[in-house]
């Protein structure tokens, strides 16, 4: 059934403002956490700045019709402010970014979404949670993160990798530094590497009953927390994660203009790709409009559109729904699409229906870190100290 109403907000101020109403309410709710703290000027200023920032982003996405440009801004802010506030939080609690054996034994390690790839099999088979974190209390508990990830998978599938992941903004940001790539050809076969990483870490974690990816491979320990170097093995692990961070998250994304860590290494991305299969949102290509220029295949940061996919009229199941190909398509042939509906109809409605949950996701993960980060920066300026 075709819905006759025109939901297009591009260039239409009245419709854009109308569509903004739910987001204004959601921004207020998620930034304040339901309990707005206006006890002092700093809090009010930080709240207003965060509130305006998100609503400006959403307004621009709707009004200009450009998705990726403004999503990316919010996504980079998420990555930077998450790391900034996380590290400061650790320094306040522990005095440094490192954790000790005591922290491990007392289960004080925050649970990140990537660990989900390793805890499921041991939890089912041995009824053991192999990660040294809190089950259902405190900061970033295991149960809350698993529930959030499951909900996100249902809502936006692998869209999480471009709208909610608090690490993805690092290589997304680095991939946009150069105007043109210095390494022009990257073999797209590497997009299957995360599935191999997923296979190996899930199995090795199940057999050794330890989070092997966190111990050996996670590049993001560089900007979160890492084990105190007390022996040769930990030193070796530290060298590995520093090299991986420098290579996969900083240098290669800059040189290739691709999200190398997300596209070729992250096991969570591989796991979420499967959720794309059941998620209702995808990217559809209107073959009547497409002139086969294949610009979309060149700009896709995760190798998720190939010439074959263009022929099929949809992106591959590894798509992170960032919207870069949509912005880049000169013929406006690529659209957010609800599976099972015609590709050439209801573009604007489908876009709005996708943007609402995905932008809310960005808001949920970015809101508090940005608010806290702004408060800390004001504190630094006014008192000269962050702690």
Partner 1 sequence: MGYYDGILLGLSTGSVCLAYCGPVLIPYMLGENNTISRNYLDVSLFLAGRLAAYIAIGFITGVLGKFLLQPSPLSSMITGISYIVLSLLLILYGFYQFKEVCLGRSKSRMDSASGKNKTILVPLTGGILTGLNICPPFVLAIAKAAALHNITKSTVFFILFFAGTSVFFIPLPFLGFFKRQQVLRTIGKFAAILSGVVYLYKGIMITFN
Q: Under the rule (CB under 8 A), what is the footprint of partner 1?
A: 189, 192-193, 195-197, 199-200, 203-204, 207
Q: Are 201 and 269 in contact (CB under 8 A)?
A: no
Q: What distances in angstroms separate CA 330 from CA 307, 326, 346, 371, one per listed residue?
A: 17, 9, 19, 37
Minimum CB separation of residue 204 from partner 1 in Å reads 7
**How big is the chain, counted in residues?**
387
Name every residue whose Cβ is closer than 8 Å to that of residue 307 and which is 6 or more positions away in sequence.
Answer: 294, 297
Closest CA to 28 of 369, 355, 361, 363: 363
Sole residue written with tokens 């997009």:
191
Tell me whether residue 91 or residue 239 sits nearer to partner 1 (CB atom).
239
Tell me whether residue 8 or residue 306 sits nearer to partner 1 (CB atom).
306
Tell me whether residue 201 or residue 223 sits nearer to partner 1 (CB atom).
201
Minimum CB separation of residue 380 from partner 1 in Å reads 42
Minimum CB separation of residue 340 from partner 1 in Å reads 20
Minimum CB separation of residue 203 from partner 1 in Å reads 5
Q: What is the DSSP letter of 110?
A: P
Q: What distances in angstroms separate CA 165 from CA 72, 84, 131, one per listed residue?
A: 12, 15, 20
Minimum CB separation of residue 218 from partner 1 in Å reads 15
**Four-residue CA torsion sign, 129, 276, 189, 331:** negative
Tell me whether residue 37 or residue 233 sits nearer to partner 1 (CB atom).
233
Minimum CB separation of residue 283 from partner 1 in Å reads 19
Tell me whether residue 171 or residue 316 sits nearer to partner 1 (CB atom).
316
Tell me whether residue 18 or residue 196 sits nearer to partner 1 (CB atom).
196
Phi, psi (5° rounding) for residue 307? -55, -35
Minimum CB separation of residue 216 from partner 1 in Å reads 9
In the chain the first and final C-alpha atoms are separated, in Å, by 58
User: How far is the C-alpha of 197 from the C-alpha of 69, rounded, in Å?
Assistant: 30
The token pair at 182 is 């210095």
Tell me whether residue 42 or residue 229 sits nearer to partner 1 (CB atom).
229
């Amino acid at each position: 059934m075709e819905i006759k109403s025109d939901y297009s907000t591009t260039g239409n101020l009245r419709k854009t403002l109308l569509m903004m109403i739910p987001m204004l309410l959601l921004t207020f709710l998620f930034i304040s956490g339901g309990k707005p703290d206006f006890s002092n000027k700093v809090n009010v200023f930080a709240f207003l700045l965060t509130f305006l920032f998100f609503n400006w982003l959403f307004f621009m996405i709707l009004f200009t019709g450009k998705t990726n440009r403004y999503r990316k801004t919010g996504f980079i802010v998420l990555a930077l402010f998450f790391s900034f506030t996380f590290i400061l939080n650790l320094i306040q609690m522990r005095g440094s970014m490192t954790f000790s054996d005591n922290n491990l034994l007392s289960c004080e390690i925050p649970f990140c979404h990537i660990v989900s790839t390793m805890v499921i099999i041991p939890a089912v088979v041995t009824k053991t949670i192999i990660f040294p974190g809190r089950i259902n209390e405190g900061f970033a508990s295991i149960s809350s993160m698993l529930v959030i990830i499951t909900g996100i998978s249902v809502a936006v599938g692998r869209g999480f990798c471009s709208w909610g992941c608090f690490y993805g903004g690092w290589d997304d940001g680095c991939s946009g530094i150069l105007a043109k790539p210095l390494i022009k050809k990257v073999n797209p076969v590497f997009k299957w590497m995360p599935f191999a990483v997923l296979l190996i870490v899930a199995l090795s974690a199940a057999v050794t009953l330890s989070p092997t990816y966190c111990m050996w491979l996670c590049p993001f320990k560089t900007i979160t927390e890492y084990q105190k170097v007390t022996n040769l093995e930990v030193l070796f692990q530290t060298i590995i994660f520093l090299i991986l961070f420098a290579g996969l998250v900083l240098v290669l994304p800059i040189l290739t203009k691709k999200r190398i860590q997300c596209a070729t290494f992250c096991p969570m991305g591989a796991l979420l790709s499967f959720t794309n299969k059941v998620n209702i949102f995808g990217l559809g290509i209107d073959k009547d409009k497409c002139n086969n220029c294949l610009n979309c295949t060149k700009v896709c940061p995760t190798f998720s559109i190939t010439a074959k996919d263009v022929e099929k009229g949809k992106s591959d199941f590894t798509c992170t729904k960032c919207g870069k190909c949509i912005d880049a398509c000169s013929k406006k042939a690529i659209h957010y699409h609800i599976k099972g509906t015609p590709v050439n109809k209801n573009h604007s409605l489908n876009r709005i229906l996708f943007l609402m949950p995905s932008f809310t996701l960005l808001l949920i993960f970015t809101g508090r870190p940005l608010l806290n980060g702004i408060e800390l920066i004001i504190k630094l300026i006014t008192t000269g100290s962050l702690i």
